Amino acid sequence: MSTTSPTEGRRPSMADVATAAGVSVTTVSRALSGKGDLPTETRVRIQETARALGYTRWTTTRGRPDTTDARMIELVLGTYDDAFTNEVSVGARQAAARMGYDLLQTLERDDPEDDWPARVARRHPAGVILGLIQPTHNQLARLNGLNIPIVLLEPASDPHNELQSVSTTNWQGGYDAGMHLVGLGLTHFICVAGEPKLRFGRARESGFSRAVFEHVPGSVFNVVKSDWTTRPLTEELAPLVRGRGPVGVFTCNDNMAVGVYTAAKRLGLSIPDDLCVIGFDDTARSAHMEPPLTTVHQPIRALAARAVEMIEQLRAGHESRGDRIELPTRLVVRGSTLPLEEPPAAETDAQ
């Protein structure tokens, strides 16, 4: 005896989803549109039921179909006011234009009444790139109900294979910075770690400390906390650097390196004679600091471009859920660190 699906031979309706999920049609509509507040487990159950039935959302607004905008990608960032996000914007915009998409830039706001997933749901773009953001379970449930490809760019926390993501080799970048300072023959080190603790910041700090502890086991190692901005770190650094020199300082982004430069000037310290400073990002200003900043270069524009490409591949079914891509970093040595010590010349026998 064969069992026939109640939707076999026809396109499943919202009523079919409601019946299978044990909820009302109104609840299904709210769950799949990303509108209204529903318990996460209810929203997820409805979404999974819709996928199992092969239901494709098709609603109408004022008599006209409400469909995905096939040529618009939405970039959601928490700010557009710093060097990093400016590079992200440029990279994403260039890649989108090259691939025939329009790029819409959306700001994540603090107002709970103006949640960005609701704005995304109204526009229904072809894909969404979330930069430095890890969506909450409720936000993710809203987005999943729209069947829109989502890519995380440098996620703030571990995506746990729930979403596609693109980032750089943060741990390796921190390790390379540590090895460079170790190679200078230093024995005193400071890591300027970002607060709040973000996934990529923890990786950079971990890589740096591993290099130091592995190769200079008797070293003095201190951690200074900052807020990812250019805030001067005079009070924090003063008791750790006076009379030590030279001290190797690694900051988990270039902004905090600016704070170290300001502190050094106020404390009457020289870079690189008293402080050997390495940043992370290689934003445009780093090469123009005085002295130019040694930093870990991450290909920010390439990261953003790769995220746009992943949206296209997801739409075509060429990416798998939870895929994670890492682009390589590289150390750019400039004037803020002393040159590597030259090995002693080998003695040769007189001829």
Q: What is the pLDDT of residue 56?
A: 60
Q: What is the pLDDT of residue 41?
A: 76
Count of C-beta atoms within a 10 Å radius of residue 234: 15
Q: What is the pLDDT of residue 347?
A: 47
pLDDT over 70 percentage in the chain: 83
Q: What residues of the chain score a pLDDT lower than 70?
A: 1-11, 33-38, 40, 56-69, 110-114, 160, 318-322, 339-351
Q: Of 3.90.960.10, 3.40.50.2300, 3.40.50.720, 3.30.450.20, which CATH number belongs to 67-167+301-327?
A: 3.40.50.2300
Domain topology for 14-60: 434 Repressor (Amino-terminal Domain) (1.10.260)
Question: 143: phi > 0 → left, psi -120 to 50 → alpha, else beta; which?
Answer: alpha
CA proximity to 55, closest of 25, 85, 82, 75: 25
Dump pLDDT digits (tens) for 120-132.
Answer: 888 889 899 999 8
- What's the half-sphere exposure (Cβ side, CA atoms, 13 Å) at 116? 22
Q: What is the pLDDT of residue 54?
A: 76
Superfamily of segment(s) 170-298:
Response regulator (3.40.50.2300)
Q: What residues does each domain of the chain span?
A: 14-60, 67-167+301-327, 170-298
| Sequence-ordered list of residues with C-beta below 8 angstroms from that of 265, at least 6 positions apart, any chain | none
What's the whole-model pTM score?
A: 0.75
| Sequence-ordered list of residues with C-beta below 8 angstroms from that of 146, at least 6 positions apart, any chain | 32, 33, 34, 57, 120, 121, 124
- What's the half-sphere exposure (Cβ side, CA atoms, 13 Å) at 94? 13
Do the two domains 14-60 and 67-167+301-327 of this chain adopt the same fold? no
